[in-house]
Amino acid sequence: MSFLRRLVLSPTGAAGLALLAVIAAAALLAPWISPGDPLRIAGPALLPPFSDPMLPLGTDRLGRDVLAGLLHGARTSLIVGLAAAAAAVLIGSIVGTIAGFAGKLIDEVLMRIVDAFQIVPGFLLALAFVSVAGGSLETVILAIALGAWAQPARLVRAEVLSIRERDYVAAARVIGMHPLEIAFKEILPNALPPVLALAAVIVAAAILTEAALSFLGLGDPNVVTWGSMIAEGRNVLRAAPFLSVIPGIGLVAAVLGVYLVSEAAGEALGRGGRP
């Protein structure tokens, strides 16, 4: 049975994929459902949900459409989560492959660098980086990736150490393949499957980190995010709790969906090819 089929047939995986499909659809359709700038003034301030059919989720303190913010915020969260995870896995895979395949001094030096990054919590590293470099979306993605690449590096290194002595690797050495070609063409593809399950966890953590940075006012002020919406709503939490609750539900749904898919992917990979 294929990995994708095992993932879909798993109740956990199916639930996670359904949640992510809804969020992805909302993100993709945002320009058509709520065209224009989601930060523009759309109506009277603090309009409650379901009181105006043109503004079904109401407006915030400045009269901005909450539905538009929710949909466009989904796009921001998915872009940040996927891009940061891809960058972290790419950096970690390269470092882990070189460390595991080269061994000796190179392995020791690279692993000490990995240790240095793992000592500092990822959020604090991202917070410090964004505070210095600015809060653009690209900077936030890079900051999150810098705090998340060490774990994939360790996992890839462990996989490479178990693979590098196998017969097909020895055969590649015998026929004269370059060491880097052996490492990245023969070994790395076989070391990646466990990292893919970890990537889902990194996506969820990246979404939460971006929301936290935006909540603290360190995100991109020109881009609507769920974190900035929650921060905006905290100022009128008693009078209009929906301003924080609605984006909060979106954030919980996105993270829950990613974690469910991650759990199901881990189970599917653990079962291997068994039906």
**Cβ atoms 77, 211 nearer than 8 A:** yes
**Cβ atoms 201, 264 nearer than 8 A:** no
Domains of the chain by start residue, with CATH: 3-31+58-271 (1.10.3720.10)
In which element (H, E) is residue 130 found? helix 122-133
Per-residue pLDDT tens over the stretch 2-58: 667 777 888 888 999 999 999 999 999 999 999 888 999 998 999 999 998 999 999
HSE value, Cβ hemisphere, 13 Å, CA-based, for 81: 28
Per-residue pLDDT tens over the stretch 165-217: 888 888 888 888 888 888 888 888 888 888 877 888 899 899 999 999 999 88
% of the chain residues with pLDDT over 90 = 52
Q: Kindly report the pTM of this predicted structure.
A: 0.86
State the angle between helix axes of 150-163 and 104-119 in degrees (0 to 180), rounded to the nearest 10.
150
Distance CA 104, CA 75 (A): 44
How far from 82 is each of 101, 144, 157, CA to CA, in Å? Answer: 28, 11, 23
